[in-house]
Structures are given as structure tokens and as C-alpha cells.
Copies of this chain bind each other. A is one copy, B any other.
Amino acid sequence: MSTPYYLRNHWYVAAHAFELTGTKPIARTICDQAVVIFRGEDGEVGILGDRCPHRFAPLSTGEVCGNAIQCGYHGIRFDRDGQCTHIPGGLPVPHDFKAKHYPALERHGFIWIWMGEQAANPALIPDFHENADPGWAPVPGYLNLFCNYQLMVDNLLDLTHVVFVHKTTLAGGGVTETPLEVKVEGDRVSAQRMMFNVDTAPIFRAARGLAGNIDRWQIFEATPPCYIKITLGAREAGATTPLGEPVHMVLNGLTPESATRTHYFWSTTRPWGLGDKKIDELYRSMIELAFNEDKAIVEAQQRLISADADNVLFVNFPFDRAGQSARRILKRLMSEEQAAGKKLAAAE
């Protein structure tokens, strides 16, 4: 297999913020690179290559000391810029003795990592404020998927599958029958499916008591490389609740671990029922069930794709149009980034 290519000059979700407590760092592989994620005593986050430059022990086997991380094998320390700050035995620190360093940020309840050579631009972090702002009740989660992240992008941008995959939670009337409206502006794909007077879905019955026929909407916004914000709503059929108002949103960050593994960070968040632990639990159980059903199917796809990687030709139907557009944008951006990289290398 050829080396996989990932868009580099972008932010990826490295962790949920709540994962990073105490002096224990997190080891994680992102875009094929092993990194260690830690929080200093001052509360700031650092991300380094998870490899001590001394003898290749993982820094993540160690612990946080002040604002530095100390290797778990020989006690050598590195600060958040990767600079060595201490070698046991009072030995002098060579000034070029460094661990690899990655720009890191904490925002919207997530830890973000920048994988590119260009200067990290915080303005490029997607707007996932619904995961952290007052007035919202987020229920976050994580799944490790044994598939390429684009298969999960496809999945999230085509919710006709809820009828066949999520029979006890998200299925409902009108979904397969109603066309998906898709709009592409620049690198952004927007899509929506508006359904009127259709059978309710178990999740709306359980969360909002909508037992009879409903009007239902699915609204999608996808931005590269791997962010999909979904607004899901319903009202009693013909009621006056504004169309498009969320019952809940699902924020999705699909970080490539490798060409065939994905860190799936998600948060289901709602602007009502704040502090209601029963509603939290209802969402957690329904969404975890549904997303594990997705995990089974996208991993099965990946196995079939990997088994015959030279003969993968997808067929596209109208309900695939949003995912297809997102794939096209990603492909173009990858080509542009690779071409720019080659130009740069040639000019040097």
C-alpha cells in the first residue's frame, strides 16, 4: 500500500478536554504519528511526539512535572515546545536535544492538534461552541473505528441509513422517500432533508414525547477535513415550532489515526433539559447504541475495501450527493496541498 496522505495544515481533535486530568499524559496516534498529550500545572495543554529522543521510550509512560513531561525510563524532561529542560545526574542539556513539537489548543471542550508545516491558525478551528457554551447540555463520547475516516463522513452525510441500521432509535417515516437537498459553497457542503407528516422516531418519542405523526428535519454542515455538524429536529405534524430548530445537534470530529483507523469524537448536545441527568442518560444510551451500529457497518465496509483495494468503485445515488461532494472537496484540497509541498521542496 502507498503511504496514505492526510490534509496537514488543519486542526484535528486530539482528545476530549475531560480526558486530560491529573499528571497522567495521554498516548494517541494521529495521522500515523504517535503523540503524547499532557496538561501542565498551569493548565495549558502540550502535545509532543511520543518518543524520547534519548532511547525511543514513549514519553507517555512518564508523568507531568511542572509544565514539562518527564520520560518514564530515564527521567529526562521536555517542555511544551519539545525542548529538553533536565537530564538526571546534573548533566548539561545539549541545546538541540528536543522532542518533536505540535501546536496545541483547547477550545469548545476539545483539545486540538495542528499537523501541518505552516503556522497554526486558530481561526480555522470549527465552531463547535455548542459542546461547551452555557445554555447547552452536551453528552460527549468517543469510538475507535477500524476504518478510514471518509467512510464515516459518508455515513454522517447520508442519514437514509437510519431506517436500516438504527431500527430501534433513529429510524422513522419519510427518510428514504424524501430527497436530500445539497448545496456546495467553496469548501463547505450544506444539506437538508425536510419531512412532513411522517411516522415519529423512537428518539423523538423518548426525548420529547412525540408519539404521533411529526414534521422532521435533518440539517448538515460539513467542513474539511472531517467535521460534520448535524441539526436534528421534529415537531408535532403541522405545529408552529420553527422548522430547523434543534431538538438536538450532533457535533462530529473524525480524526484519522491511520489509513484504516479513526478516532471518532462526538457530542450530542441540546439547548433544553440542562442538568437533567435522565435526559442525558437517554441520549447517551440511544446514541451509543446507534453509533456502535454504525461502527459495525463502516468497519465491515473497510474490511471488504481492504480485501480488494485495487477494485473499489463506489456507485452514487441521489442520497449520496452530500458525501460525494465532501469527498470531491477533500480530494481537491489534498491535491493542492501535495502540489504546494512539491513546489516548496523544488524551490529549496
A: residues with CB less than 8 A from B are 34, 50-51, 53-58, 61-62, 70-75, 87-91, 97, 154, 158, 160-161, 163-165, 176-177, 179, 296-297, 300-301, 303-305, 307, 312, 314-315, 317-320
Contact = CB atoms under 8 A, between A and B. Distances in A.
Given A58-B300, A58-B303, 4 more contacts: A58-B304, A89-B318, A90-B177, A91-B317
Nearest to A294: B73
Contact of A163 (B57, B88, B160, B165): B88
Contact of A55 (B53, B61, B163, B314): B314
Contacts of A165: 72-73
A88 B62 CA distance: 54
Given A163-B75, A319-B89, A307 B34 contact: yes
Contact of A51 (B58, B89, B164, B304): B304
Q: How many copies does the complex hold?
A: 3
A315 B71 CA distance: 14
B176 A57 contact: no
A52 B58 CA distance: 42
Contacts of A179: 89
Given A61-B300, A89-B319, A74 B154 contact: no
Q: Which 9 A-B pairs have the closest CB atoms?
A: A88-B176, A75-B164, A56-B304, A89-B176, A58-B300, A54-B315, A56-B301, A51-B304, A73-B297
Contact of A160 (B56, B74, B154): B74
B164 A71 contact: yes
Nearest to A155: B73
A315 B97 contact: yes
Contacts of A34: 304, 307
Contacts of A51: 304
Contacts of A320: 55
A166 to B, nearest CB: 11
A129 to B, nearest CB: 32
A61 B296 contact: yes
Nearest to A90: B177
